[in-house]
Amino acid sequence: MNIFRFLFLLSVLSIPGCRRQMPVSGNWTGTMTTGENKQIPFQFFLEPGSPGPAGYFINGPERTPIPEIQIQQDSLTFFFSEYGAAMRGTWDGSTWRGKFFRYRSDTSWNAFVATPTSEGREPAPAAIPSGLSLSGKFQVYLPGDHGTDSTTTAIFWMRHDSLFGTLIAPDGDYGLLAGTQTGSHVSLSRFTGWQAFLLELDRQDTHWTGRLAARSGKPMVFTLGAQPAVPSTQAPSSETSMKNPKAPLKFWGMTSSGRMMNSDDELLRKKVLVIDIMGTWCHNCMDAAPLLQQLYHEFGKDGLVVVGLSFEISGNPETAKKNLALFQARYGLTYPVLFCGSTDKMNVQQRLHSQLNGFSGYPTTIFTDRNSIVKRIHIGFDGPGTGEGYQHQVGQYYEIVKKLLK
């Protein structure tokens, strides 16, 4: 071939417009590389929308909306404003390649790749030998410098050819993990943008050993011990308490519309309050939001008010207003959610530790009577992925609210 003709054809083929266009509708699969070079799988779906494309991550039956999607020529970016993160990548004609950025003072990143895929049925996993099926409730044993921690539990169940499960710590669960079991090996994962987990378990003699890898940091290594009846991992309400039991919890903050509101607001007077100490970045807070909205919708006419006190990763008020608005729209929240500053230690000390003994994390839900006296404090939240634990918790919240409204 004439050298000039060859160079001309090569230049034409290299023009971006000659490459396969990036599909903006359909399913994608990909992997993210952890700090220890493990591959965390993920799936998502994109569809055209107005004013821009929409999409969600897929974890078994769960669908987690992608907050913001931006497409500019061959560039595709997912923004996670609440978490202070983004997935930025470029389409090369067959693959979306890029980096997941976690924006902090020590910004970190993880490489990822993803490709469009069809919804074709995956081959069934190999048959599981009798007696090896990972199903039921387990105690999780975490070795440490000060002995073995056994405050976490786990639950697993099979549905068709898939395996599902989660770990349940005292402050809430890790979210629904989905995957498969092949013989004596189990691989489960979860990816929502702000969450990225790979759980691998192997049967050794009479017990299971596990490794939970996240986006960064060392994997959590543990063993499972089966128990016929696992006690609730919910931390006792006495672990967090008011320093002055006769004093109301004082709070103040800004709504997503910019209105300032505090605990003496006319809207809250002589009301039974459910005060949710949370953050728009917090997975367990996301799981709790629909239940709190359900309670507010059902009992608001009887004198119940739900208030969210949101402590954000960013202390910027404009960013916070945006994050609160996204959070409220995603879960259809009609109760007020207040920006109470950042998760900075000094801010949390001033607003929470000064009034509460043993405040340990998000969410912490406080129930008060009509005189603003704290009657119950619930630590953490077990989401729908915990099955019976979630249903028990829903019943518990209803029972507390009904009793306070009498």
Per-residue pLDDT of the chain (406 residues; tens, 9 = 90+): 555 454 444 444 444 445 678 888 999 999 999 999 999 999 999 998 878 899 999 999 999 999 999 999 999 999 999 999 999 999 999 999 999 999 998 999 999 999 999 754 444 555 565 567 899 999 999 998 889 999 999 999 999 889 999 999 998 999 999 999 999 999 999 999 999 999 999 998 888 999 999 999 999 999 999 775 544 444 444 489 999 999 999 999 999 999 999 999 999 999 999 999 999 999 999 999 999 999 999 999 999 999 999 999 999 999 999 999 999 999 999 999 999 999 999 999 999 999 999 999 999 999 999 999 999 999 999 999 898 899 999 999 999 999 999 9
Q: In this structure, what DSSP letter does residue 381 have?
A: B
Structure pTM? 0.87
CATH fold of 136-226 reads Lipocalin (2.40.128)
pLDDT at position 39, please? 98
**Domain 237-405 architecture:** 3-Layer(aba) Sandwich (3.40)
CB 295 within 8 A of CB 274: yes
pLDDT at position 132, please? 77
Q: Where in the chain is the domain with CATH 3.40.30.10?
A: 237-405
pLDDT at position 20, please? 77
Left (φ > 0), alpha (ψ -120 to 50) or beta: where does 292 sit? alpha
Instruction: List, in order, residues 6 or more apart from 231 with CB less than 8 Å away.
Output: none
Q: Where in the chain is the domain with CATH 2.40.160.90?
A: 16-117
For residue 228, count other CB atoms closer than 10 A to its CB: 6
pLDDT at position 19, please? 65
Angle between helices 317-331 and 283-299 (to 10 degrees): 60
CATH class of the 16-117 domain in this structure: mainly beta
For the CA atoms of 395, 400, 402, 406, what is the dihedral angle to 10 degrees?
160
Give the integer Cα–Cα distance in Å for 285 and 135.
27
Is the C-alpha dihedral spanning 82, 87, 166, 141 positive or negative? Answer: negative
Q: Which two tokens mark 217?
A: 């940091």
Buried b (16+ CB within 10 A) or exposed e, 1-11: eeeeeeeeeee
Long-range CB contact pairs, 11-18, < 8 A, 24+: 16/73, 16/74
pLDDT at position 32, please? 98
Q: Where in the chain is the domain with CATH 2.40.128.120?
A: 136-226
Give the integer Cα–Cα distance in Å for 372 and 248.
5
CB 279 within 8 A of CB 337: no
Taking 3-state DSSP, the helix, strand and coil percentages for the chain, each rounded to the nearest 5, stand at 20, 45, 35
Q: Which two tokens mark 390?
A: 């979630």
pLDDT at position 12, please? 42
Q: For residue 323, what are the CA distances in angstroms to 18, 84, 230, 294, 363?
A: 39, 10, 37, 21, 17
pLDDT at position 229, please? 58
Give the integer Cα–Cα distance in Å for 359 and 338.
19
